[in-house]
Structure 1
Amino acid sequence: MDFSGKVVLITGASSGIGAATAVYFAKLNATLALVGRNVANLNQVASDCETVGSIKPLILVADVTKEEDNERVIAEVVEKLGKLDVLVNNAGKGASGSIETTTMEQYDDIMRTNVRSVFQLTKLAVPHLIRSKGNVVNVSSVAGQRSFPNFLAYCVSKAAIDQFTRCTALELAPKQVRVNAVNPGVIVTNFHREAGMDEDTYKLYLKRCEETHALGRVGQGSEVAAAIAFLAGENTASFTTGVCLCVDGGKHAMCPR
């Protein structure tokens, strides 16, 4: 794969899957626009990208839950980089909670970050993607395909992203814009810690995941990044749209335990 001359915008690029995806695309010679809230982390990721690639990324400090920030992000990308070829909607968050314990504030927070921001950024990007005949890759989750207790708002948000992916794929296909998603299983990032797990619980969780993933292990960010690049590539997935691709070590296919 080669993304020379392609402009790739990645949200949530300051850590986890987003950071891994940025480095992966840098190796493929993409021109990158990296979006996140943590300036120090973004600078580090940009430095990592420059180490493996040849083009300095554009850093955009923004909060995807703010409409004005999203408008600025798309405008700056097109103004400074000239176009937009690939939008990777990666920014997201998780939180534990059941129907009895999830507050409306928590629910709204999850939906603003995981769904509303994706809707708005995609809507803003569409005119530019039509011009470039580009594509969108949404980062969903196996939780969009499978149901898990005590993670209600997150599961609902990712199921929404899967449906959003399929609907927009159908709407934009006549204009030659592809829309796909990846659905990761458990990936080694700070995601679960940020969702409230302490270190000891997280270690036990990863051990348990050896039984809940068919391949007997959890995944790495670079493995999800490779799937994102595959779906974004003209030479690898030019006839693929509306797909929600599980990158989860077979977790989606296993019976619940």
Structure 2
Amino acid sequence: EAIYGGLNSLKGARVLVTGASTGIGEQMAYHYARFGAKIVITARREKVLQQVVEKCLSLGAQKAFYIAADMANEADPDKVVDYALEKLGGLDYLVLNHIGPSPFSMWKGDVDHTKWLMKVNFFSYIQMAWKALPSLEQNKGSLVVVSSLLGKITSPFVAPYSSTKFALNGFFGSLRHELAMKKSNVSISVCTLGLIDTDSAMEKVRGVTDVPAYPATDAALNIIITGSTRQPELFYPWFTYFIVITKDWFPSLTDYMTQNSYNYIP
């Protein structure tokens, strides 16, 4: 409860969370609700979104709405931001968290899948950020981008996914410089997450790796705190920071450890 008291600034805050039907996004919606925020959530499945919205209202959200959308569809990212602006009258937080499904396997040359994944995991993010920027500017708002350790270091079996996360880090890192040079009052927080115990992640790595997984609800709370305190970066769990640092100092050690933390079944 102390944490919820400590972030009073989120009471009545207007928040849009993407990828909020399951996993980290769903947990973020519940935390924002407990803080008394006004929330719009989106994902593809209407039925699940409906249930999440009901739970948000029961947890204390001042308002909660949902809009079903497919981020691979070029019109949907803008449509979602417009809907949130209309329902909430503006935005204080845009939390970009959605990802498309991607196989956890050796790269077999599926270029079309990678193009599709780029649309979902990358292009829709920059489209929504641009669409929401004027409102965020007006409200001294925050842009929160959920990325991954796989956007900082390379790893087997995730080439398409990793490429989308590297793209996010590059784009939003660059945009942060531009906003600072323009003396913009919008903050950008890029969140580097390790393995989180969401159903979709655990399904992929079970039996393939012994890397420890961390709780989605805790990851979600850390992301929210990072955004509301306007920190440029989050590393969760904490040791992901050291992995990123050591990769440049000891590249061959990092490669060795990476390749040996997976059981490769040809």
Same fold (TM over 0.5): yes
Match for residue 103 of structure 2? 95
In structure 1, the residue corresponding to 2:75 is in which secondary structure? Answer: helix
- Counterpart-to-counterpart distance in 2, 1:153 and 1:147: 11
Gaps of 5+ in 1: 210-216
Give how far 1:98 is off: 4.0
Q: Scaled by the length of structure 2, what TM-score is found? A: 0.83
Match for residue 250 of structure 1? 239
Aligned partner letter, 1:161: L
- Counterpart-to-counterpart distance in 2, 1:119 and 1:172: 14
Are the counterparts in 1 of residues 193 and 240 from structure 2 also a CA contact under 8 Å?
no
1:21-55 CA-partner distances (Å, limit 9, x unpaired): 11011111110000111111111211221221142
Match for residue 37 of structure 1? 44
Match of 1:228 among 223, 232, 236: 223
In structure 1, the residue corresponding to 2:54 is in which secondary structure? Answer: helix
Are the counterparts in 1 of residues 117 and 164 from structure 2 also a CA contact under 8 Å?
yes
Are the counterparts in 2 of residues 33 and 60 from structure 1 also a CA contact under 8 Å?
yes
In structure 1, the residue corresponding to 2:189 is in which secondary structure? Answer: strand
- Counterpart-to-counterpart distance in 2, 1:182 and 1:69: 24
Q: Identify which of structures 1 and 2 has the higher relative contact order when contacts are C-alpha pairs closer than 8 Å and 6+ apart.
A: 1
Are the counterparts in 1 of residues 148 and 192 from structure 2 also a CA contact under 8 Å?
yes
- Counterpart-to-counterpart distance in 2, 1:28 and 1:170: 30
Match for residue 192 of structure 2? 183
- Counterpart-to-counterpart distance in 2, 1:184 and 1:191: 15
Q: Percent identity?
A: 28
Match of 2:134 among 120, 127, 132: 127
Aligned partner letter, 2:236: V
Determine if the alignment matches structure 1 residue 72 to structure 2 residue 61. Answer: no
- Counterpart-to-counterpart distance in 2, 1:54 and 1:9: 13
Give how far 1:253 is off: 2.9
Cα 1:38–1:140 change in 2 (3 A) is same
Match of 2:90 among 83, 86, 89: 83
Q: Which moved more, 1:1-10 or 1:48-57?
A: 48-57
The higher radius of gyration belongs to 2
Are the counterparts in 1 of residues 17 and 96 from structure 2 also a CA contact under 8 Å?
yes
Are the counterparts in 2 of residues 35 and 62 from structure 1 also a CA contact under 8 Å?
yes
Are the counterparts in 1 of residues 13 and 92 from structure 2 also a CA contact under 8 Å?
yes
Aligned partner letter, 2:225: F
1:52-77 CA-partner distances (Å, limit 9, x unpaired): 11424111111122222222211121
- Counterpart-to-counterpart distance in 1, 2:202 and 2:124: 22
1:85-123 CA-partner distances (Å, limit 9, x unpaired): 100000113333445x13111111211111111011111
Are the counterparts in 1 of residues 196 and 213 from structure 2 also a CA contact under 8 Å?
yes
Q: How many residues align?
A: 236
Give how far 1:223 is off: 1.5
Gaps of 5+ in 2: 1-6, 244-253, 261-266
Are the counterparts in 1 of residues 15 and 40 from structure 2 also a CA contact under 8 Å?
yes
Are the counterparts in 2 of residues 5 and 31 from structure 1 also a CA contact under 8 Å?
yes
Cα 1:172–1:251 change in 2 (3 A) is closer
Q: 1:131-210 to 2 correspondence within 5 Å? A: 131-173=138-180, 174-192=183-201, 197=204, 202-205=205-208, 208-209=210-211
In structure 2, the residue corresponding to 1:140 is in which secondary structure? Answer: strand
Are the counterparts in 2 of residues 137 and 180 from structure 1 also a CA contact under 8 Å?
yes
